[in-house]
Amino acid sequence: MWRKLILALVVVPLGVVLIALAVVNREPAVLSLDPFGGAEPNLSLQAPFFLFLLGAFALGLLVGGIASWLNQGKWRRTAREEAREARDWRRQADRLEKELETVSPARPQLTAE
């Protein structure tokens, strides 16, 4: 339910806005990568402006995803350690149950008379 709500309230309007920007900004634009270039920059790229907008959006998503992934590393490490510890405890419990079965004699059956 929450995913559908987030999709309806965030992703769909964002997609509509990006598509509208792409349609409106089809004129060629020059992206200069030479900060000291002056009138004729050596490092420049000419493309429709919407490509620069969508590229900046994609780059932001990528950088944000990587930052989130790096930030959550401590939680993934903790989850791995606790899963390993739970496996060890389960193995020890299974081993102790087997030992208890072999050591203790069979319990006598109580019969109702």
Q: Work out the pLDDT band at 108, boundaries 50, 70, 90.
A: low
Contact between 28 and 48 (Cβ < 8 Å):
yes
Reported as a single tens digit per residue, the pLDDT across 60-91 is: 999 999 999 999 999 999 999 999 999 999 99
Residue bearing tokens 């780059």: 59
More confident residue, 1 or 56: 56
Question: What does the alpha-carbon distance between residue 20 and residue 12 come to, in Å, rounded to a whole number?
Answer: 12
Contact between 54 and 22 (Cβ < 8 Å):
yes
Question: What does the alpha-carbon distance between residue 27 and residue 75 come to, in Å, rounded to a whole number?
Answer: 46
**Residue boundaries of the structural domains of the chain:** 2-32+43-101
Residue 34, pLDDT score:
79
pTM recorded for the entire structure: 0.59
